[in-house]
A and B are shown apart, each in its own frame.
Chain A
Amino acid sequence: MLRKCALYSIVLLLMLTLSYGCSTSGNSKMLKASQTDLNHKNSTSQNSLKYPSVNNLNTEEYASKNINLTIKSLKKEIHFKFNSATIENIDEYGINEDSKNILNNIASFMANHPSMKIRIEGNCDERGTEEYNLALGQKRAESAKGYLISKGITPNRIETISYGESQPVDFGHNNLAWSKNRRDYFVFYK
């Protein structure tokens, strides 16, 4: 009796296996697609958790492409009024920007990508003096850092540096050039 039962169960198992094989051959493309999606999902989650994965390479490329696209869409500088390190809306000499909104977007991006770090480079226009401008550039960078910290970004992800007046983007001697050069520039890195 036991032998018969074992034989039936083996036959049943074979039939089930065959029927499953027939059904998969008809929908192979769909399965591959769904498997790929699954891989992506796994890999994305693994990447964010920083666990090693067999799909690590694809994962990084996929993730970094997405991050790069997001970084490209972010504004990477804010501007300041003359001799000021206060973060405020600017609408003068051809610069019209909502600095806090730009920093909010950066903070949101940093929150969504915990592996990313940021370097804030403080700059000044040519009119001030070298030593004072180095200090003012540092103050400007520290202002943006303080703002990002207030939005929940941990200080160890934020680096500041001042270039004073040594890195102008516009070499003109007019209000537009000066207002362009009074800026914090943001560099993202891992």
Chain B
Amino acid sequence: MKKIIVLFVLFLIYLNLSAEAKVFQITIDNPNYKPIGIGLWGFQSKDKSSALILKSTIERDLRMSGFFYVDKTQHFSYDAPFSVVCGLSKIDNLDYAVYGNLIVENNDSIYANIKLVNSANKTLMFNGSFYSNKESLKWLGHRVSDKIIEYITGVYGPFESKIIFARGKGKIRDIYACDFNGENIERLTKWHTMNILPKWIDKYEISFLSYKYGKPSLFLFNIRTGKIRKLFSNSNLSISAVKYKNNFAVPFSKNGDVDIYEVNRNGRIIKNFTHNYGIDVSPNFTSDYSKMVFVSNRTSSPQIYVKDLSSAFESSIRLTFNGKYNSSPALSPNNRKIAYISIEKGKTALKIMNIDGSEDKTVMTGYNLDSPSWSYDSRYVAIEAEMGGVRGIYIVNTLNNKYFLAMGGNGMYNGLSVSGRFR
């Protein structure tokens, strides 16, 4: 009898432990997690308009990060003691508060002192200074936002980067650049033709496809000097150019097949990456150039493959098996994740999987999802999409699947690419 009672008690303890294990499976990527409350109470300054610009930039960035609920109700004096600030933010059920002051000298030089307060344990998490000029005030705002995101989430924020994208109507598309949050839009090409699929090559160089001379050709554009040069036009169709070591990987059509080739800066073909009947496009490389992720229809439908470039033999491994259409892969800068587009019942979905094809999950579903591109922190994806009837560029937080419109309207979008961090 005693043995039965002991066994019963042990069974109850086991049940209790397994129940506790389930409780502790809640993580930050749970879509139902509670957003972090942060009070953005503005910056004391004689230059009210500059203070407002800084505040609105940080607010936009923090909202788009997908982590925060932003409270803007300013109801304290900037000179109030630290304990009062903590108390007020706690009363408002906020986890953190940001405030500070801004000094503008000679109507140009900007000095900002920013304080980040943790209201729960009443600590000053960050008290730092930022310098810039008035022209770069919004960029200063991005730096402040990224710093706040780093202190609260543990990883530096993604907003000190640029998105290049193609946009237009009819047969005219041009290349534009904007900040990661969709502001500061600048037009880079004015050729009155179709210019699409821009890609960052280096810090100041981009590639894009243009129909300027009739058949599609690839161009390189130095955004600092404004210099444009033709890279490759030795085909009826060359599609895109991404960096491969000191050269480029270019998918183009040759004898009816589209394969991926290595092409040097003078447009000379060095070698084949793929040699397959059909279509091979969208090359992506790991940062050490040992692996190439690409799309191929070698099994009739487009699927994502990874090729080991260190092997002398054909070593392409298929990564996607769910669905008949998986394309447009983007490898994260930390080489761990692949974002890609999948078609399901007429709708397109943004999916993410590990580089070995495991842990495949859907992050976003809508119309016309295309050209996913990772931010430098490997947590966000910028993507073209039409959500709720609004076509534009969206920023997706891949940890909690929250997405925000960075920029919308004004015609069709044909490719985008996110830069590395501009320091």
Q: How far is the CA of A160 from the CA of B240 in the complex (A)?
A: 18
The chain A residue sitting closest to B346, CB to CB, is A127
Q: Given A135-B251, A135-B281, A138-B258, answer yes or no on A130-B197 (Cβ-Cβ < 8 Å).
A: yes
Interface size class of A (residues with CB under 8 A): 20 to 34
Segment of A35-43, A102-110, A161-169 in the binding face? A161-169
Judged by a CB distance under 8 angstroms, whether A139 is at the interface is: yes
Segment of B31-39, B77-85, B123-131, B367-375 in the binding face? B367-375
Those of A124-151 within 8 Å (CB) of chain B? 126-132, 134-136, 138-139, 142, 146
Judged by a CB distance under 8 angstroms, whether A32 is at the interface is: no
The proximity string for A residues 166-178 relative to B, scoring 1 for CB distances below 8 Å and 0 otherwise, is 1100000101000
B328/A132 in contact, CB under 8 A:
yes
Contact of A130 among B237, B324, B367, B370 (CB under 8 A): B370
Interface size on B, residues (CB 8 A): 40
B256/A130 in contact, CB under 8 A:
no
Q: Name the distance in Å between B261's Cβ and chain A's nearest Cβ.
A: 14
Query: Which B residues lie within 8 Å of A132 (CB)?
Result: 279, 281-282, 295, 297, 302, 327-328
Q: How far is the CA of A130 from the CA of B324 in the complex (A)?
A: 17
Q: Name the distance in Å between B206's Cβ and chain A's nearest Cβ.
A: 16
Query: Which A residues lie within 8 Å of B258 (CB)?
Result: 135, 138-139
Q: How far is the CA of A136 from the CA of B343 in the complex (A)?
A: 16
Q: How far is the CA of A139 from the CA of B278 in the complex (A)?
A: 9
Q: Name the distance in Å between A50's Cβ and chain B's nearest Cβ.
A: 25
Query: Which A residues lie within 8 Å of B227 (CB)?
Result: none
Judged by a CB distance under 8 angstroms, whether A83 is at the interface is: yes
The chain A residue sitting closest to B280, CB to CB, is A135
Q: How far is the CA of A161 from the CA of B171 in the complex (A)?
A: 14
Q: How far is the CA of A162 from the CA of B258 in the complex (A)?
A: 12
The proximity string for B residues 348-374 relative to A, scoring 1 for CB distances below 8 Å and 0 otherwise, is 100000000000000000011011000
Q: How far is the CA of A98 from the CA of B236 in the complex (A)?
A: 27
Those of B257-309 within 8 Å (CB) of chain A? 258, 279, 281-282, 295, 297, 301-302
A130/B196 in contact, CB under 8 A:
yes
Q: Name the distance in Å between B21's Cβ and chain A's nearest Cβ.
A: 40
Q: Name the distance in Å between A144's Cβ and chain B's nearest Cβ.
A: 12
Q: Name the distance in Å between A163's Cβ and chain B's nearest Cβ.
A: 8
B236/A130 in contact, CB under 8 A:
no
Contact of A135 among B253, B368, B415 (CB under 8 A): B253
Q: Name the distance in Å between A156's Cβ and chain B's nearest Cβ.
A: 13
Q: How far is the CA of A138 from the CA of B328 in the complex (A)?
A: 17
Judged by a CB distance under 8 angstroms, whether B341 is at the interface is: yes
Contact of A166 among B173, B325, B327 (CB under 8 A): B173
Contact of A128 among B216, B256, B325, B412 (CB under 8 A): B325
Sample of 4 more A-B contacts, CB < 8 Å, known A132-B295, A173-B367: A128-B327, A135-B258, A135-B279, A146-B256
Query: Could you list 7 A-B pairs, sorted by A, with CB under 8 Å?
Result: A128-B343, A131-B328, A132-B327, A134-B216, A135-B281, A138-B237, A173-B386
